[in-house]
Amino acid sequence: MSLLRDLYLSRGPAAGFAAVGVFWGTFAALVPVLKPQVGLSDGQFGVALLITSIGAVLAMWLAPLAERALGTRALAVLTASLAVATLLPGHALNGVTFTLGMLCVTMASGTLDVAMNARVSALEAQVRRSLMNLNHAVFSVAYAICAVATGLAREGGFGPSAILTGSGIAIGLLVLQAAAAPVVDAESDEDGVEVAPLPWTLLLPGGMIILIAFMSEQATEGWSALHLERNLGAGAAQGALGPALLGITMAMGRLAGQVVANRVSERAVIRWASITAGIGACIAATAPTLSVAYLGFSILGLGVSVMAPMAYAWIGRMVPNRYRSHAISRISVVGYAGFFIGPPLMGFLSEGFGLATSFFVIGVLLFGVTLLLLPLLSRFASLRAG
């Protein structure tokens, strides 16, 4: 019941998380047909996604201004903009139109991402409960459902334009929920909110943990179906099961994280989560059969699911309340780049060494969280506390 209560409290931003999950779940399962439709190689596809990341980063920088200008309508307007942008990539017939369409999508998605996370942070401050894992779980559930539905639609003969049109309509329905939910104000000026004199020696390791988590998640979302179909002979529905399993296991992990968030230290959770995710990525990279690859993506999803939410919570807990919003905004600038660096990185590595090597590199980066970033963050946190 507590999960349902938490979901009700955060139903406004949860609609935004679901909307983002709808698009990216659909897109992940469409990659094997979208790429040949627009006539791009692996490397060119990676370049296209890298170009679109520029717009996403710019949108994230400007997101606070957009949210302030839109006021109480921010979530609804930004969700509606994503619904419209979703229609564009499916109708692209060449690399240029695909890149422009995805640029609109990533700008809309990036702005909505920042706004909905900020709204969850404001809710957490007001109700004094952890809500971040639950809302990220909503994204994962929507992602998994849409990945499976897209695979089945492909098997039924539907193309990218029809499928993405359906996704745009689904996101449009979520606008109603985002508009109807009550708005919760962030901390007022009398709470003493100000620009925080926080050192990058504290924020950069935390941001890098989030970056690697998001990079691993988005790289797997965008390329797992292609890996299964190209290297292991999967059909359309079997290929879509890769990103779907990632979404399902990430939802399970985040729901579990919502339960244990106040019982286990963030450091311990991130350590074991990064090790688990790294093992999963290596299994998926070296899998000789579909079933082993599915196991690898499932383990990866369970591990990576809680890394970013726990890193956000840890940084937020280490700084005074009046500095928390500024700290979260700083690490978001670093962390959210991973959502858009991952797919281009996979494309470049796949072009030169193959998709299996790409997933193995992701595993190495995940192990680096435990071996390097976590000790750095713990040390600087201890020094700051002292």
pLDDT per residue as tens digits for the range 202-223: 788 888 999 999 888 877 877 7
For residue 141, give every residue at least 6 positions away whose Cβ sits within 8 Å of its Cβ, in sequence order, or none. 18, 21, 247, 248, 251
Q: Would you state the structure tokens that stand for residue 213, as one six-digit string?
A: 């988590």
Reading phi first (left if > 0) and then psi (alpha if -120 to 50, else beta), residue 363 is in alpha
pLDDT at 237: 79
Per-residue pLDDT averaged across 270-277, rounded? 94
77 has pLDDT over 90? yes
Do 25 and 313 meet the contact criterion of CB atoms below 8 Å apart? Answer: no
- For 223, how many CA atoms within 13 A lie in the half-sphere containing its CB? 35
Q: Does residue 129 carry a pLDDT above 90?
A: no
Give the model's pLDDT for residue 108.
92
Per-residue confidence band for 194, with pLDDT thresholds at 50, 70 and 90: very low
* Cβ neighbour number for residue 338 with a 10 Å cutoff: 24
Q: What angle do CA 334, 40, 28 make, to 5 degrees?
A: 55
Instruction: Quickly state the pLDDT bin for 271 (edges 50, 70, 90).
Output: very high
> pLDDT tens for residues 313-322?
788 777 766 6
| pLDDT band at 196; cut points 50, 70, 90 | very low
Q: What is the pLDDT of residue 14?
A: 92
* Of the candidates 324, 165, 152, 299, the residue with the CA atom closest to the CA atom of residue 237: 152
| Other beta carbons less than 10 A from residue 197's beta carbon | 7
For 27, half-sphere exposure in the C-beta direction (CA atoms, 13 angstrom radius) is: 26
* First-last CA distance in the chain: 40
pTM for the whole structure: 0.76
Q: What is the pLDDT of residues 31-53, one digit of tens each?
A: 888 888 988 887 788 788 778 87
Q: Walk me through the domains of the chain, giving residue ranges and CATH numbers.
A: 2-183+196-385 (1.20.1250.20)
